Structure formats: structure tokens, C-alpha cells
Amino acid sequence: MHSSLKTAAVALAALFVVAACGGGAGTGTPAASSAATGATSTKPKLELASYAYAIQTKGKLRVGAREDNVPFGVKNVATSKFEGFDVDIAREIAKEIFGNESDIDKFIEYVPVVSATRIPTLTESKADFVIATFTINDDRKKQIDFSDVYFNTGQKILVKKDNSTITKVTDLNGKRVCSAKGSTSEVNIRKEAPQAALELQDTYVPCLILLQQGRVDAVSTDETILFGLVKQDPNTKIVGSYFSAEPYGIGVKKNANNDRNGFVDLINRSLVAMIQDGRWAKIYKQWITPVSGDEKTTPDQR
Amino acid sequence: MGIIGEFSELYLFPNGLFITIQLAITSLLGSLVLGTVIALFRIAPLVPLRWLGGGYVEFFRNTPLLVQLFFLYFATPYIGIYLGEPDTFGFRAAALGLTLYHAAYVAEIVRGGLLAVDKGQIEAARSLGLTYLGMLREVQLPQTFRAVIPPLGNIGIALVKNTSLAATIGVADLLFAGDIVESRTFRAEEAYAAVAILYLSLTIPLGILVNYLEKRMLVAR
């Protein structure tokens, strides 16, 4: 947790510098600025040189979201509308740009993404930001920028309901554990329980089958994925406490050519506001509480 | 974590190569033996044996190997068959699947070779008092094996490449190693180029060996 706080702080500091530079470039035309803000009096006032202002002028925010990731980003087959935790957070950010519109979806263009297309969608400028259970890490930070953490999860353990011998990660030593080949989950198990025998599959459904057949003792990965597995097989349960930190952030293209001025800053301000006034807690309760059973008011709550 | 800078898991490649070689040798020997038996069934004087052999070939040649592997790996426990302890299950399922599948091809090649032996020789052997099995051992099979070495070499090379499907059922073979390296380093081009070169290091010598054997056998003839 400390490391993610630190990285978030560093990212914030870097953004501050970028935002300051952007502001400096824009101060040359104060008259134009006041004229523009006057014309859009119903909309929030935005810095003229900022990327958010460009989006406000264009009238469309392009949001990269998952279509198949319950309960974070799902495209409702019946209504063909996007919904989920990530999507509702995106809608609140859109309100920061377009004002408190009753039908904010009019101003949002959803760009479907999958895990592997999240970074290209940003670098090729197909979306303004990507909000898709996107874990912040150093390798990704080399290619894109991240907002502050808007959701925290971590790795936990799934066992059969009648299993009482595995209650924490060190209990996995000497046991057979299934995880995804090459994932960070696999690396974490090797680190926390070096004597665990790993069974590696391409996805987590085969892991669940092996658990049902008794060929592995446990499955371990991000709790948000385990939620889905428990839903599929109620004879399983999630045990232990987090033994890794998976902080989710919102991805934005790097502001290398001053073409994303102040954008991450705006997203962060929006996140702070929605956490402070309880909108975040409401969204959590709507989407996450039904699968997790708990309630949270901030992402940092454990 | 800076995985690229401190990537220290290159041992995955030799480990994976070793598993791939073990898997290839086990399945190659298995499919040669089983395939020959099935071929003998297919030309046996007894009609039920011929049906059995024919049914085997049609089933295993006409279903995808990947489906057979998934069945052996995921479905067998549901019908009460345990191919091994959890830690050996994957390798055994893969070796069994590769053997069963390639045996069907070996059977067809060996059958062709058996039928190519001149009828007159077979009749001569029988009239000299050899039993059916004795005739097979002394006359028909030796000539068959000489004739089928080049096509069997092709099957062997195909088998080595097909062992890579074992990675999909969690066997830590060469491709599996490449998958892990790729997902840890995000360097697909290097990871899979290394995997391809290591497969070549198995299949090209195998091809040379087959050519050598073919030439030697021709001289012997």
C-alpha cells in the first residue's frame, strides 16, 4: 500500500509540473479565455489550454471501457448501454467536463477495450481515457499516464467450502495452487509461498474445474476475479487477506506533445470530489457490494 | 518491479526444452508401437480385428488433437479415470493424447507399407511352412519398415511440433516457457523467436537423421 501511495504521489507531483507548464503557455491570451468561458456559461469553466476544454468544445468524451467484465464494465445486451462500476465512475468524470447533465451518455462515446488493447487504445488516441480494471504498474507507466487509485483490490485465495486447512497465504506451502500462466498472481504466489506447487492455466475457469475435481487445493488471483468464480460455483469460498496490492487507475495518453494538458489532473480532482461527497460510495454499493458483501466509502479502506 | 531489467528466469527455456524432448520421445515410441499393432489389425485375416483397426484410425485421425487433449485432461476424472497424481496428470494426458493421435497416422503408413510387399513373397513364406506371425516377423515387417522410413519421419517431425499443444493443458513445455517469458517481459518477438529456434533445433536434426536412415536402408536393400 505504501508503495502505491508513493507512486501516486510522484505521479501527482509530475502532473503538477506539467499542468503548471500548460498554464504558462495559455496565459498569453486572457481575453480569448474570458470570451470562451462566457459563451459556455452552463458548462464548467475550464482552462483554455487544457485538453478537457478541447473535449468540451468537441462535445464528446471518448471512454475506453470493457464490455464483458462483471461488475466493472459490461455492455447490457438488452439496452446496448454500458454499465458497471468503472462506467459509472467515467460518467461522474464526464460531468466534470460537461456539467451535471441528466443524460450524460449523450456526451460519451464508449470505445470497447480488452486487456491487451488498453494501452494501444490510448497511444493511438482512440479514447481520451481508459477505465477498465487497469492495474497501475511501472512497466505500464513507461507507456501511459495513470490517474490516482480509484479502486483497490489484491490477491486472495479460493478454496472449496469444506476446506479448513488453508486460511492464509503461507498455508499454500506444500499445496497445489492454480493460477494464470505468466500473470502477476503467479509471481506473487512464488514469492509468498515458495513451497507451493503451481498449476498454470491460460484462464481461471480451467483452474476452477481443477479445484472442483480436487486436483488443486486452491486458486489464487485478484479478489475481483475470484468474485466471479464464487458466483459460478457456490461450493467455493474466498479466504485470507490481501497479499498483493492491485491498485486500479484510469489510463491517459502521455502528455508528450502538450496534447493532454491538465487532463490527469482534472480526472484526479473529479475522483477526490466523488469520494468526498459520497458518490463513490454509492457506486461501490451498487456494483461491488452484491458480490463482495462489504461497503466502502474510499478506495483506501481495507 | 522492473521485470525487464532483472529478468532472471531464462532457465525456463532449457527446462521447457527438456520436457518437450521427453514428451516427444515418449509419444513417438508409443505411437510407433501402437500404430504398428493397429496396422496389423487392419490387414489381419480376422474381420472383427480389421473393423477394430479401421474404427480406431477413423476416430483418432478425424477429431482434433486439441479436443482429444482437453478430453483427456479435463473430462477423464468425471468418468472415473485418473491418469496420474495431480503433479503427473498433465504430462501423462499429453503423452497419451499425442500417442493415440499419431498412432492413427503411423497405422495408415505402416498398412501401406505392409500391402506394398509382393504377394508372391508372402505366399512363398507360408508355403515354406512359416506361420502367419513368423511370416510377418521374417518377411513382411522388415521390408515394410525400410519402405516407410521417409513418411514416418514426417510424422515424427509433426509430432515434435504438436507437442506444443501440451502447453494449453498446463504442461510446462517449450511453448509454455515462451508464454511465461512473453507475459513477464512484454517482449513477444524475442520470446517466441527463441521458442521457434529451439523447436528447429529438434526438428532439423530429426530430419537429417531420417534422411541418413533412408540412405542406409537403400544401400542395405
Instruction: For chain B, give every domain's residue range.
Output: 17-220
Burial of B44 (0-12, 13-18, 19+ CB in 10 A): middle
My answer on whether A233 and A203 are in the same domain is yes
Does the structure show a pLDDT above 80 at A206? yes
> Does residue A123 or residue A16 have the better pLDDT?
A123
Q: Which residue of B has its CA nearest to A136?
A: B1
Residue A51 to chain B, least CA–CA distance (Å): 30
Q: Residue A167: which domain range?
A: 155-239
Residue-level pLDDT at A11: 52
Does the structure show a pLDDT above 60 at A32? no
Q: Which residue of A has its CA nearest to B176?
A: A181
Q: Is residue A43 assigned to a domain?
A: yes
Confidence of residue A30 (pLDDT cuts 50, 70, 90): very low
Confidence of residue A28 (pLDDT cuts 50, 70, 90): very low
Residue-level pLDDT at A33: 42
Residue-level pLDDT at A255: 93
Q: Which residues of chain B have pLDDT under 50?
A: 1-5, 221
Q: How many domains, chain A?
A: 2
Beta bridge partners, A73, equal A69
My answer on whether A260 and A234 are in the same domain is no
Residue-level pLDDT at A109: 96
Question: From 3.40.50.1110, 1.10.1660.10, 1.10.3720.10, 3.30.70.920, which CATH number describes the B17-220 domain?
Answer: 1.10.3720.10
What CATH number corresponds to the domain at position A254?
A: 3.40.190.10
My answer on whether A24 and A98 are in the same domain is yes
Residue-level pLDDT at B219: 57
B87, B90, B184 ranked by CB distance to A182: nearest: B184
Global pTM value: 0.73
Residue-level pLDDT at B220: 53
My answer on whether A261 and A122 are in the same domain is yes
Choosing among A176, A177, A210, A216, which should be mutated to test the B contact, i.e. which has the most B CBs within 10 A?
A: A210
Helix axes B12-42, B86-116, angle to 10 degrees: 40
Residue B161 to chain A, least CA–CA distance (Å): 20
Q: List pLDDT tens digits, range A148-176.
A: 999 999 999 999 999 999 999 999 999 99
My answer on whether A141 and A288 are in the same domain is yes
Residue-level pLDDT at A23: 42
A138, A139, A200 ranked by CB distance to B170: nearest: A200
Does the structure show a pLDDT above 50 at A36? no
Q: List pLDDT tens digits, range A6-16.
A: 555 555 455 44
Residue A138 to chain B, least CA–CA distance (Å): 7
Which run of H or of E encompasses A184? Answer: helix A184-192
My answer on whether A41 and A163 are in the same domain is no
Share of chain A above pLDDT 90, in %: 61
